[in-house]
Amino acid sequence: MPNSMKLGAWIDHWAELTPDKPAIIFNGKQQSYAELAATITGLTTVFQNDLDIKEGDRVAWLGYNSPGIIEALLACARLGAILVPLNWRLAIPELVRIVADSGAGLLIVGEGHVETATAIADELEDCRPVHNQLAPMEEQEAGSWQCLQALMDQLVDVGQGSPSGSDFSENPVLILYTSGTTGRPKGVVLTQKSLGWSARNSIAMHGMTAEDHVLAVLPMFHAGGFNIQTLPALSVGASMTLFEGFDPGVVLAEIGSGRPTLAGLVPAQINAMRSHPDWDDTDLSNLRCVTTGSTFVPDSCIEVWNRRGIPAIQVYGATETCVLAIHQDCANAETSRGSAGYAAKHCEIRIIDDNGQDVTPGVHGEILVKGPNVFKEYWRNPTATGRALWDGWFHTGEIASQRADGAYVISDRKADRIISGGENIYPAELEAILDGHPEIIESAVIGMAEERWGEVPVAFVVCSEDSQLDSGRVKALFENRLARFKHPRRVMLVDSLPRNAMGKIEKFELRKQLSQNMAMDSTKSRES
């Protein structure tokens, strides 16, 4: 791995050493390191000369996984600009809020997202949409939008305007948005340096080398998409197969034919793959390990790989830590079973009580993380930054304990968050919509365990006496307002919500109620 923390320098390094080696394989086409370096140089030139992108400017990206988003990140890195990947699963009002908060003046649009981008641009006059690679069927709909590929095709000298020698390693290069416990989107600001140190953590965890072939399945609008394996692979000169989206059959076919050595998958993806009819017949033998992570990883997601002779290693972290903070590795995956593993190579971990004091092994407390991979700040949100970062320590809001052997066991969430299929859902977002309805007196949203997605939201709702709302009408309140994966899977209409002496809703009591209701439903189902 190059010593430089300048992301663009990684590709230049390997383009010189192994120019013809495949860097990215996408939709059956190979892009060598030399081709990738040339594309990044050309895109940097277009950003600077044609689109007037300067140091500190924000560039939003709306689209499925493609080499384009990686190229955009590395072009931004050369200019000291900042990429803002957008979760295309979000509803248009959510995307508008994020783009507005980031202040992005340029919105790069991938195929299939012209309609959504048009709606965003209609709301935000200062955000200019351009198409990444304009498809013929979308030309008319996109109107007069410029196309990045067309602009690069017009370049005479792709070397001009490409300040690869500039050192922007301390500069922000990526803003990844989380919903935030208050419902307000929070932009996690990551520097080139933090991404570089995160890559080193991943390389140490995987034992990753240039000989590896990585499957990149996770979406790039999440920290895991870039940081668990994608950027680490490019930093060591490995090859990667990039998927536009996740299809269990397609991924299994690629594992069998492409012979990858490493893959990163969330539990929901693992569940979909093991349920696929091709699972038993797919040759998995070339995989050295599979990496997975969530707040809680079901043991079944580990065992299904172990039965095929493949170590499944857990990672724990947050967007604020570039994902990796605690992890297992191939050597200790079995001995550390039941835990999230040990501190990453370049991370320090503390567990503290409510008084800020370090606890002894076996005692539960909040996890704190410190290291060069930790985020810089929340974008334009000093209040949230001040709550989360104290003396360089990131307060995760997660509860854990440390075993006698040093491994960390994640036990609960201090923060109110639901993780469904790898996506973060913050109940405050749903509760704000529910509580805004005139017939709803109050509400509370909790997570319910679900085999396929890990967790799904469940809403407890107290309605007024004259309300005409039923569960179906309550669910309809979320249409076109929040992404569908955030919609409550179940609505419980109740007379009141349990509260403690301070008036705070006791969500653990709601979880008990839900568990009892599900047990009763199961009994009725068996009896019928």
User: 418-527: what fold?
Assistant: GMP Synthetase; Chain A, domain 3 (3.30.300)
Residues 450-455: contacts with CB under 8 Å, at least 24 apart:
450/420, 450/489, 451/271, 452/268, 452/271, 452/272, 452/421, 453/268, 453/420, 453/421, 454/267, 454/268, 454/294, 454/296, 454/298, 454/419, 454/420, 454/421, 455/418, 455/419, 455/420
CB atoms within 10 A of CB 390: 11
CA dist., res. 133 & res. 287, Å (int): 33
CB atoms within 10 A of CB 432: 16
pLDDT of residue 435: 84
Question: Would you say 33 and 14 are in contact if contact means Cβ atoms under 8 Å apart?
Answer: yes
Question: Would you say 458 and 434 are in contact if contact means Cβ atoms under 8 Å apart?
Answer: no
Could you write out the three-class secondary structure of 306-324? HCCCCCEEEEECCHHHCCC
Q: Which residues contact 472 (CB under 8 A, 6 or more apart)?
A: none
DSSP-derived secondary structure for 227-243? HTTHHHHHHTT-EEEE-
**Rounded to the nearest 5 degrees, what angle is found at the Cα of 33, between the Cα atoms of 29 and 34?**
105
Question: Would you say 326 and 313 are in contact if contact means Cβ atoms under 8 Å apart?
Answer: no
Cα–Cα distances in angstroms (integers) from residue 525 to residues 191, 325, 514, 519, in the given order: 53, 43, 16, 10
- Domain ranges in the chain are 32-169, 418-527
Beta-bridge mates of residue 350: 368
Residue whose pair of structure tokens reads 């709306």 in the numeric block: 62
Strand order in the sheet with 326-327: 29-32, 22-26, 239-242, 213-216, 262-264, 289-292, 312-316, 326-327, 342-343
CA dist., res. 174 & res. 77, Å (int): 9
pLDDT of residue 98: 96
> Which is nearest to 206 in space by CA: 183, 230, 241?
230
pLDDT of residue 337: 85
Count of residues in the chain: 528
CA dist., res. 331 & res. 345, Å (int): 15
528 residues of the chain, pLDDT tens digit each = 666 678 888 999 999 999 999 999 999 999 999 999 999 999 999 999 999 999 999 999 999 999 999 999 999 999 999 999 999 989 999 999 999 999 999 999 998 999 999 999 999 999 999 999 765 556 666 678 999 988 998 886 554 444 455 789 899 999 999 865 555 789 999 999 999 999 999 999 999 999 999 999 999 999 999 999 999 999 999 999 999 999 999 999 999 999 999 999 988 899 889 989 999 999 999 999 999 987 667 777 899 999 999 999 999 999 999 999 999 998 898 888 889 999 999 999 999 988 999 999 988 889 999 999 999 999 999 999 999 999 999 999 888 889 999 999 887 666 677 888 888 787 878 888 998 899 998 899 999 888 788 889 999 999 998 999 999 999 999 999 999 999 999 999 999 988 754 456 778 789 888 888 877 766 655 555
> Which CATH class for the 32-169 domain?
alpha beta
- Strand 289-292 and strand 262-264: the pairing is parallel
CA dist., res. 185 & res. 443, Å (int): 21
CA dist., res. 351 & res. 359, Å (int): 6
The region, left, alpha or beta by phi > 0 then psi within -120 to 50, assigned to residue 370 is beta
